[in-house]
């Protein structure tokens, strides 16, 4: 039990006026109709814990742990409660989540690549004693071979006078399972006239460890990444929106300003329809919570994909509709994750599209696992993979694409 209330935590929690506008927006509340599974209810629990009115060893912390941190509630809150920071602080203050060695292991691309190889070659039963690893093995198997991530080094553009020099953040799961998406980012950046640096020494953004209740480990990851990306860069870009929102929260920030790859290409890439070959096809576009609710960048992917003549982009569900992946939530609460995913799978089942695009690697893995063998012909890609594949002229020495 806490000895004294945390005034900063209580000050932020007290901004909630308990109006309930967040309830219909909350995925876990819609699923359970349990007030404790809503943002309003969780804030009340945080207040009770902070004042030592509730025992952190009881059910209250379970309701906090089950939060997806989708931050949909922030979009409708009239008081502008910073719910994301509030729930994150609660994870640590009340030991909602205690760090485990496997959490740090899952933030290592080498471990994730090994899990991916195991998923494709070994019986799944071998990983069953380790629940998280077993679940990770299943989703890795579903997404398939995502290619090899670009090796550290500098990828130069063709232009005589480059427009700038940017660093590419790889990420742990993206590097392990979506290497081709990272390669596509390099291709698009160099095509747009930017020399692109894949920095040596960069590590996981730290989001997984922070969400696991280990802020000290997450802070160490941030320190390493601040050193890896030097101030001589004009920008640092990332591909996975889930990683990107965590990079944006670094305090102090990265030496160079961070951008999501889609925003950077849209605002600074100077791309037009003349850069892309036409494609007569319909693609499904899933907009993750991180992209819609935190970045507020739900328009970025449609705007860029709109540069491909003939391409029809069909939104999968509502923008920001949580698929249930939510970082490692799909590993800890697989049943809830599957229930939240089901409406999206039913929508996919009513289409004939052969491409599903999403900007976050966790969402891609979770959706691919749900599709299973029923839609083996449907590929799950990052939007940059399609964009790079449709370039009229590709930079020489480009990394492997779809």
pLDDT tens, 52-73? 899 888 888 899 999 999 999 9
pLDDT band at residue 384 using 50, 70 and 90 as cut-offs: very high
Lowest-confidence pick of 116-120, 251-255, 290-294: 116-120
Give yes or no on whether 7-93 and 273-389 have one common fold. Answer: no
Domain boundaries, the chain: 7-93, 273-389
**pLDDT at site 311:** 98
Percent of the chain with pLDDT over 90: 65
Kindly state the tokens that stand for 194. Answer: 């930017």
**pLDDT at site 106:** 57
**pLDDT at site 1:** 44
329 within 8 A of 297, measured Cβ to Cβ: no
Cα–Cα distance measured from residue 183 to residue 39, given in angstroms and rounded to the nearest whole number: 39
317: exposed, middle or buried (C-beta count within 10 Å: 0-12, 13-18, 19+)? Answer: middle
Lowest-confidence pick of 84-98, 207-221, 331-345, 347-361: 84-98
pLDDT band at residue 199 using 50, 70 and 90 as cut-offs: very high
**pLDDT at site 133:** 60
Kindly state the tokens that stand for 145. Answer: 């071979």
**Dihedral (CA of 345, 347, 350, 352) sign:** negative
Please determine, for residue 359, whether its predicted confidence score (pLDDT) is greater than 70: yes
- The class that CATH gives domain 273-389 is alpha beta
Average pLDDT, the chain: 87
pLDDT band at residue 400 using 50, 70 and 90 as cut-offs: very low
Please determine, for residue 277, whether its predicted confidence score (pLDDT) is greater than 60: yes
Tell me which DSSP letter residue 314 carries: E
Cα–Cα distance measured from residue 88 to residue 92, given in angstroms and rounded to the nearest whole number: 7
Kindly state the tokens that stand for 385. Answer: 């993979």
Placement of tokens 């070994």 in the chain:
122
Q: Which residue has the higher pLDDT, 376 or 101?
A: 376
**pLDDT at site 101:** 55
Q: What Cα–Cα distance (Å) separates residue 145 from each residue in 150, 175, 224, 228, 379? A: 15, 12, 28, 28, 11
Neighbouring-strand partners of residue 166: 196, 235
Please determine, for residue 83, whether its predicted confidence score (pLDDT) is greater than 70: yes
Lowest-confidence pick of 38-47, 107-116, 214-223, 266-275: 107-116
pTM of the model: 0.88
- Say if strands 153-155 and 194-198 run parallel, antiparallel, or are unpaired: antiparallel
Q: Which residue has the higher pLDDT, 382 or 125?
A: 382
Tell me which DSSP letter residue 257 carries: -
357 within 8 A of 283, measured Cβ to Cβ: yes
- Residue 322 contacts by C-beta under 8 Å, 6 or more apart in sequence? 27, 68, 70, 72, 289, 340
Alpha helices in 27-164 (DSSP H): 27-32, 39-50, 60-65, 72-76, 83-93, 101-105, 109-121, 131-143
- The class that CATH gives domain 7-93 is mainly alpha
**pLDDT at site 401:** 38
Lowest-confidence pick of 65-74, 245-254, 351-360, 392-401: 392-401
pLDDT 10s digits, 152-174: 999 998 777 899 999 999 999 89
153: exposed, middle or buried (C-beta count within 10 Å: 0-12, 13-18, 19+)? Answer: exposed
Please determine, for residue 294, whether its predicted confidence score (pLDDT) is greater than 70: yes
Side-chain half-sphere CA neighbours of 129 within 13 A: 1
Within 10 angstroms of residue 126's Cβ, the number of other Cβ atoms is 12
Please determine, for residue 289, whether its predicted confidence score (pLDDT) is greater than 80: yes
Please determine, for residue 28, whether its predicted confidence score (pLDDT) is greater than 60: yes
Alpha helices in 334-382 (DSSP H): 334-349, 361-371
């Amino acid at each position: 039990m806490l000895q004294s209330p945390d005034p900063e935590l209580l000050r932020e929690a007290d901004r909630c006026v308990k109006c309930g506008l967040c309830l219909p927006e909350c995925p876990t509340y819609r699923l359970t109709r349990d007030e404790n599974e809503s943002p309003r209810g969780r804030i009340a629990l945080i207040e009770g814990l902070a004042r030592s009115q509730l025992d952190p060893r009881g059910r209250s912390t379970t309701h906090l742990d089950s939060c997806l941190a989708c931050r949909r509630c922030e979009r409708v809150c009239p008081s502008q409660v910073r719910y994301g920071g509030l729930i994150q602080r609660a994870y640590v203050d009340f030991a909602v989540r205690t760090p485990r060695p496997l959490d740090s292991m899952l933030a290592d691309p080498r471990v994730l690549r090994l899990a991916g190889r195991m998923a494709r070659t070994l019986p799944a039963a071998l990983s069953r004693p380790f629940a998280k690893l077993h679940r990770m093995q299943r989703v890795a198997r579903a997404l398939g071979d995502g290619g090899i991530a670009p090796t550290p080094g500098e990828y130069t553009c063709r232009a005589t006078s480059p427009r700038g020099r940017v660093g590419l953040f790889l990420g742990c799961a993206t590097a392990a399972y979506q290497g081709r998406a990272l390669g596509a980012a390099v291709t698009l950046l160099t095509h747009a006239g930017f020399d692109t640096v894949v920095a040596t020494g960069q590590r996981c953004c730290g989001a997984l460890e922070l969400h696991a209740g280990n802020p000290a480990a997450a802070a160490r990851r941030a320190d390493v990444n601040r050193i890896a990306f030097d101030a001589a860069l004009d920008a640092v870009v990332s591909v996975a929106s889930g990683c990107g929102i965590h990079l944006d929260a670094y305090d102090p920030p990265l030496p160079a300003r961070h951008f999501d790859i889609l925003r950077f290409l849209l605002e600074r890439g100077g791309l037009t329809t003349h850069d892309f070959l036409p494609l007569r096809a319909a693609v499904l576009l899933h907009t993750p919570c991180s992209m819609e609710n935190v970045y507020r960048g739900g328009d970025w992917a449609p705007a860029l994909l709109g540069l491909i003549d003939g391409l029809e982009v069909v939104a999968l569900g509502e923008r920001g509709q949580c698929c249930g992946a939510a970082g490692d939530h799909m590993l800890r609460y697989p049943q809830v994750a599957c229930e939240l995913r089901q409406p999206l799978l039913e929508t996919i089942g009513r289409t004939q599209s052969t491409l599903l695009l999403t900007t976050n690697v966790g969402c891609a893995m979770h959706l691919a696992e749900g599709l299973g063998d029923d839609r083996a012909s449907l590929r799950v890609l990052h939007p940059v993979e399609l964009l790079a594949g449709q370039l009229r002229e590709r930079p020489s020495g480009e990394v492997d694409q779809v």
